Structures are given as structure tokens and as C-alpha cells.
Amino acid sequence: SLPSTPAAMKSNVGESRDYLFVDDATYQKFAEKKRRALRLVIISGALALASLVLLSVFYITDDSTFDSSSPQFDETALLSKHAANFVQFTSRFNKQYESKKHAQAALRNYALQMEEVARLNEGLDEPTYGENEMSDWSDEEFRKTLLPLDFYDRLRDANEEEEFIERMPKKLQRALADGPKYDSFDWRAYNIVTPVKAQGKCGSCWAFAATATVESAWLIKNRNDTRILSEQTLLDCDLSNDACGGGDEDKAFRFIHREGLAYLSDYPYMAKRQNSCLADSFNNRTKIEVAYFLNPDQDSMIDWLTNFGPVNIGMSVIQPMRAWNSSKVFYPTKEQCKKEVIGLHAMLVVGYGTSDEGEPYWLIKNSWGTTFGEKGFYRHYRGTNACFVEDEPVGILA
């Protein structure tokens, strides 16, 4: 049976699903400036294969892996090897490309990614890495969805306002520590975790994590009042942050406290900063009361999680994580987290538990769409600060 919690909740939140980006035509009603819509040319399976045949020169190799940096690398063979699966991939994920050139680039990215997936799965009892909607992205495109490694160093060098996020009062810390303890916990069981979204090719994880935190905090405070909120509010209107260039949760929560978030249906996601802020056009924006830095350890995170709600976190990302496709626990090694980090990422911890193999984990809601991990969620090793997942946890109250 589920543990009883201070705000035992029910809502009309349904099964997780992606919120698709709207095109410029849809956004037209929210902005005066006319924009020229891109003409998208759907590259059909037949065309993709026809293009490939022209490139392949009928050469196919039996090699199982390809190293694009090797002098012996044969790109034609690589593309030929993965052509049929790529056609299925474009159909399965409803992929659209602007031109034949873009489709060919996507095929190359897909082929290289599938080679990497095969390498990562080699020697495992069962595959834990696989295909998802990002499989046709280049490594550079994926890195742009993350915060740069020097992002917080640059923040410290800037002239900043006093932090909005407060240190938690000792009295509240003691009260939380005396609260109930559970072997496992999952806020999804109480229907307060809103649907998984997709940030696309934009470094807006900070906006998605902040918005997801507010959506859940609001539901905990106001039962059955499900609010799906607008990340675009932050991209366009929070000028203290840098939209797709990265953002800081402290600044984001300060903005939400002062100005609030519009509904997603009113202010849809564009995966880029627009020329003007339109939030003032919408009433009933959602605000928060306070945000607290939690102690950087699993006990403090669990105490907040079980008593007040999901926990906003930031962590380091290593390249293999983009292809994670398993219900197993993702456990990056200390060596990987030291030497293989490609960027920083913000997400939302919505639960915790222990796997059948005895591995403690955090249950984390990501913003890479529902084809990542377990329908957009994944399990990250808990208790050792793996890739700094326990470094800067934040809890909020709506």
C-alpha cells in the first residue's frame, strides 16, 4: 500500500506524453511580427534509400563497428549498413527534414549513434542502450541541449543579485528529519507528476526543470488543479537567464516568484527566444512562495521528497546517457564523472527506491521526451553523489 503523505493527492494528470513544438504559424496569434514558416519536406523511406544507394556505391562491409576517426573509416559502408533501420526510424518517430542534405546528415548521425549503442551494449546481459528520438542528432547538437561546463563559473564572475533560494531554517530541517521514512517512494503514484516534455535542440533544461518543479508543487498545494505551464515564459521573459544558451535555477525561481508562469496552452514552446515577452497578455500566472537549498546528501533529499514534494537537481552528463533505454539503474563511475562529462543538466527527482539487484536509485523526470529511458524517466544511482546528482538539491513551496 502507498504511504500516507501530508498532501495525499489526486488529479486528472494522465499518462506521460510529449508536448510537441508548435510551428511559427501557430505562434502567430501570440506575436505581431510575421514569420516565414519553413517549408518542411518529408523525406520518405523510398527517397532516403534512393539517396543512400547513390552514396553507397554498392559496398557493404561485415565490420560490426566503425570508428569515424580511423584512416580506414568507410562512411559509405556505414551508411549502407544502417539504411533500412534508418528508414524505419524516420517512420517510427515521424521525422521531418528540410532537405535531402539534412536527411543525409541525419542518416550519418543515426548510423554513428547506432554503432555507439552497439559498443555500449557489448558484453551486457541485456541491452540497456538503444534508439530514441535524439538518435539522428549529432554529438554537437546533443551537447547544445546541455549547460556548458563553465556555466556556473561564469555566473560567479557576473554581478548578481542576492540569491532568491534560501538556506533551509534549522527548525524545518529538524522537523523533516523526524518525519516518516519509507523504503521507496514515487510521487507518480499520487498523480502529481505532470507529463514529460521535450526541450528539443535548445539548452533550456533549466527552464523545463524549474517549470516541472512548479507544476508538481502547485498540484500538491491545490489538489486536482493541474496546471501545465509554459517554459517559453522563462525563455522570452526571464532576461537574467540566456534562454537556449543556459540558465540558473536561482534566477528562474526568482522570476517565477515575482512574475509567474503562463499556461503552456497560452504561451507554447518554440525552442528559441522570441523577440518579445508576451506573458503580460495572460492572467492567472502561477507563482511560488519560497525555494530552499537542501543539504547535499540523500537523507535531506528524501526528507523533503516524502514530506513536501519533488526535488529540483542539477548534475553532470556523460555521453552514453543520451542513449539510455532501460529500467535498470544508470550508474556512472567516478572515472566517467571526472573525465567524460560533456555538459551540465537540470532535472526533477520524483521518487527513490532500490532495484531488485540491491542498487539504490533516484527516480528522475527528464526533459528529453518520452522515448528516453522509461517513458521519459530514468533511475540514477543514489547515495554516492554519482555525477554530482546530490550536489545542489532545491525544494520549493507554491
CA distance 19 to 265: 10
Catalytic residue among 202, 205, 244, 337: 205
In our burial notation (b when 16+ CB lie closer than 10 A, e otherwise), range 247-265 reads bbbbbbbbbbbebbbbbbe
The one catalytic residue in 202, 237, 366, 387 is 366
Per DSSP, the three-state class of 328 is coil
Annotated catalytic, 366? yes
Q: Give me the sign of the Cα torsion angle 312, 329, 357, 195.
A: positive
Region of residue 373 (phi > 0: left; psi between -120 and 50: alpha; otherwise: beta): left
With residue 70 as reference, give the H or E element that holds it.
Answer: none
User: How far is 85 from 45, CA to CA, in rounded Å?
Assistant: 10
Rounded to 5°, angle at Cα 187 from 252 and 319: 60
Q: Is 277 one of the catalytic residues?
A: no
3-state secondary structure 200-247: CCCCCHHHHHHHHHHHHHHHHHCCCCCCCECHHHHHHHCCCCCHHHCC
Active site annotation includes 202: no
Residues 237, 325, 337, 345: which is the catalytic one? 345
Cell of 114: 547506432
Catalytic residue ranges: 205, 345, 366
